[in-house]
Amino acid sequence: MRTEDVRQHLTTPLTSPAYAPTVPRFTDREYLNVVYRTDPDALRAVVPEPLRIDEPLVRFEVMRMGDVSGYGPYTEAGQAIPVAFEGERGEYLHAMYLDNFPATASGREVSAYPKVMGSPALYADSGAVVGTLDHGSLRVATATMGYKHHELDRREAEEQIGVPTYMLKTIPGYDGLPRVQELVRTRITDLTVKEAWTGPARLQLFQHVLAPLADLPVLEVVSASHILTEPVHDYLLKGVAS
C-alpha cells in the first residue's frame, strides 16, 4: 500500500477499519435525563481545571440512537457535570458507556469523548420510562421517571440538549507521556425537539470497580426529562490547550 494511501486512513486495520470513514449523523434520538445533587468533594476530585463547578450537580443520561449513519442504532449512558469556563456554562462529559464498538472506538481518542463499552437500555415499563446500565452481568445504574406526566417546554428541552460540552482529549506517546492533552468543546446543532416531558424520577447507582458511577453518589434528585428529537449533529467547535 502506498504511503499516500495509508495517510487516507484514520484507524486500523487498514483493510477493515474499526469504524467507517464518515461524519455520523444522528436521527431520532431519545433521551432520559436525571439531574441529581452529589458530594461536592467527589466532584472536585474528577473535574479538571480550568473548568469550574458552581453547584454539586450531575446529570445521568441514557440516549437511544434510533439511526446513526455509519454505525446503525445503538444506546449509550453516562454522567455529565454542569461546569463553567470563561463565563460560559456547559457540561463536562465524565463517562459514557456504549453498546456499539465502532461508535466507541471513533469517539475516544480521535474525538475526545470518554467512551467505553457497556450495556445500556432505555424503554417504557408499567407507566415509567426506564434507563439502565449494566457492566458485564452486573447492574450499575437504574433510572425511572413517570411516563409523559407533564409536558416540558421545547425551548428548555433544546437548551438541555444543545448545551456546550467539554471533554479531556488525551493521547499518549510511546514513552507513556501525553503527546496530546487538550480540553475540547463540542455542541449539538441542527436539532428539532419532537416531544419533551418531565415528571417524578428516581435514580440508583451501584458500586462497581470498573464502572464507578456511584463514586458520585445520589444525595437528591433535582429534575428529570424525557426528550425525543429529530436529526441532530455534533460539530467540534474549538480546542483549548489544558
How does pLDDT run across 182-230, given as a tens digit for each residue? Answer: 899 998 888 899 999 999 999 999 999 999 999 999 999 999 999 999 7
Q: What is the average pLDDT value for the chain, to the nearest integer?
A: 91
Report helix, strand or coil for 191: coil
Give me 111's grid cell.
474525538
Give me 29's grid cell.
434520538
CA pair distance 32, 119, nearest whole angstrom:
16
**Which residues participate in catalysis according to the annotation?**
115
Distances (CA, A) of 93 to 51, 185, 196, 234: 12, 10, 22, 14
Nearest alpha-carbon partner for 26 in 185, 158, 191: 191
Beta bridge partners of 92: 81, 166
CA pair distance 239, 80, nearest whole angstrom:
19
User: Model confidence over 67-126: pLDDT tens digits?
Assistant: 898 899 999 999 999 999 999 999 999 999 999 999 998 888 778 899 999 999 999 999
Residue 242 has pLDDT above 60, yes or no: no
